[in-house]
Amino acid sequence: MKEGSLTDFVEEMQTVRLNRVPGIAVFPHPNSDTTPLALRANVNHNHVLHERVLVVSIEVLGVPEVPDHKRYVYDDLRYTDDGIEHLTVRFGFSETLDVPAALRAACVAGVLDGDPDEMDAASYFVSRGAIRRTRSGGMARWRKGLFVTLAHNAADPASRFQLPSERTVTMGGDVEI
């Protein structure tokens, strides 16, 4: 499964009839260019889309703290009524990357619609792919081994972003190098 364009995914959701389930689904993802693997996997395997889907990108800036008026960049992804949104949250390098707290604060600041308490019930879906080494060419064997080891030891995004473990689901697929 490939990420593909987020814009194309939103367009596709305009024409596909899916069951909409109650609640807020938050998908941490590095950018708004591609669709989170967890979002694609949820749609493809469960055939549902939450009433509200929030793709959240985190940017860590080269300043200790980011002022509140520069912290958020909101995008409704062309449609205001489909329930799919993108939010970039900016943090300073000395700040804790607490996504749930940032989402509550975005509601208080009026960047996101809704009651901040609604964010306390949000479900988080993390994309995580298992990286598998293959015999195919393109990269030296020792480099593949090093890459797989480093990827395996990478920080867990759920703990890095302070996501509540009881409301976090990890989804994804294998990546072969």
Domain ranges of the chain: 6-176
Q: Do 85 and 52 touch, CB atoms closer than 8 A? A: yes
What pLDDT, on the 0 to 100 scale, is given for residue 173?
A: 61
Angstrom distance (rounded) from CA 62 to CA 67: 13
* 57-79: pLDDT as tens digits: 999 999 999 999 999 999 988 88
Q: Do 129 and 166 touch, CB atoms closer than 8 A? A: no
Angstrom distance (rounded) from CA 145 to CA 132: 9
Mean pLDDT of 76-96: 93
What pLDDT, on the 0 to 100 scale, is given for residue 155?
A: 59
Strands (E) located in the chain: 19-28, 48-61, 72-75, 84-92, 123-127, 130-132, 168-171, 174-176
* 110-165: pLDDT as tens digits: 999 989 999 999 999 998 766 777 777 777 878 877 777 776 656 567 778 889 98
Q: What percent of the chain has pLDDT over 90?
A: 51
The residues pairing with 61 across neighbouring beta strands, listed in sequence order, are: 92
What pLDDT, on the 0 to 100 scale, is given for residue 151?
A: 65
pLDDT band, residue 174 (cuts 50/70/90)? low
pTM, whole model, 2 decimals?
0.83
Helix (H, G, I), strand (E, B) or coil at 126: strand
Q: Whose structure tokens read 């062309």?
A: 78
